[in-house]
């Protein structure tokens, strides 16, 4: 009887140990999967690029006919991480079309937010050891004027892990690393970003 009881207890202890070990393995796998997903979005993840700040009060070049200098802005671009580039090389990739929404302010309409949007925005990312380049272009209508807008951001090397659509940490924008150009068929204006940030996030 003693021997049988000892065998029964041993079997129960083994089953309990295996259960605990199995549960720990499942938890570990779940945590690991979540961490990998956070670091590298799966094929269905939308990556959101958000740039916001205030334009410098003096244009870099051109006549600021829309009076955007010194005004705040917010631009959001969304692209799926599975989107294939329309053009790419060893260290760059161009993605299009992407959804863009945003808000700008103009001295022509003081304190009135002006919504902007585009369904044909593009992103060009260039990765290098010294610096990373993030560019975006899109057509918009501002105060009834049709424009082409191009933003150019020079980020520290290593900000973009690769030229694919992936999250990256927040980077400060200054006149030294961020400009926005708006143009039509007859004129072009370049504005520097006085202060702001850009960040890319994914769920």
Q: For position 71, which CATH number holds?
A: 2.40.160
108 and 8 co-located in one domain: no
67 and 155 co-located in one domain: yes
68 and 80 co-located in one domain: yes
69 and 150 co-located in one domain: yes
**46 and 76 Cβ atoms separated by less than 8 Å:** no
The model's confidence at residue 161, banded by pLDDT at 50, 70 and 90, is confident
Torsion of CA 200, 92, 132, 124, to 10 degrees: -50
pLDDT of 150 reads 97
- The tokens describing 158, both together, are 């290593």
pLDDT, mean of residues 69-91: 96
7 and 87 co-located in one domain: no
Q: Which helix (H) or strand (E) holds 5?
A: helix 2-39
How many domains, in total, are found in the chain?
2
Quickly count: other Cβ atoms within 10 Å of residue 29's Cβ: 10
Report the C-alpha gap between 13 and 21 in whole angstroms.
12
31 and 59 co-located in one domain: no
84 and 133 co-located in one domain: yes
pLDDT of 43 reads 64
Residue 160 pLDDT exceeds 60: yes
24 and 122 co-located in one domain: no
Q: Sign of dihedral through CA atoms 53, 59, 61, 63?
A: positive
pLDDT of 185 reads 87
88 and 137 co-located in one domain: yes
140 and 190 co-located in one domain: yes
pTM of the complete model: 0.78
17 and 68 co-located in one domain: no
Host domain of residue 150 = 43-201
């Amino acid at each position: 009887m003693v021997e049988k009881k000892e065998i029964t207890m041993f079997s129960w202890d083994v089953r309990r140990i295996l259960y605990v070990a199995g549960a720990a393995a499942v938890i570990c796998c779940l945590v690991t999967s979540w961490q990998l997903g956070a670091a590298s979005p799966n094929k269905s993840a939308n990556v959101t690029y958000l740039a916001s700040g205030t334009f410098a009060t003096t244009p870099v070049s051109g006549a600021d006919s829309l009076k955007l200098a010194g005004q705040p802005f917010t631009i959001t671009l969304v692209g799926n991480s599975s989107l294939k580039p329309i053009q790419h090389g060893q260290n760059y990739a161009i993605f299009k079309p992407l959804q863009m929404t945003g808000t700008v302010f103009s001295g022509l309409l003081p304190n009135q937010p002006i919504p902007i949007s585009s369904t044909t925005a593009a992103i060009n990312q260039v990765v290098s050891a010294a610096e990373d380049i993030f560019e975006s272009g899109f057509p918009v209508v501002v105060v009834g004027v049709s424009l082409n807008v191009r933003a150019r951001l020079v980020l520290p090397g290593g900000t973009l892990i690769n030229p694919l659509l992936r999250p990256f940490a927040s980077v400060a924008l200054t006149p030294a690393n961020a400009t926005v150009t708006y143009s039509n068929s007859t004129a072009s204006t370049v504005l520097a970003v006085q202060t702001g940030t850009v960040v890319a996030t994914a769920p």
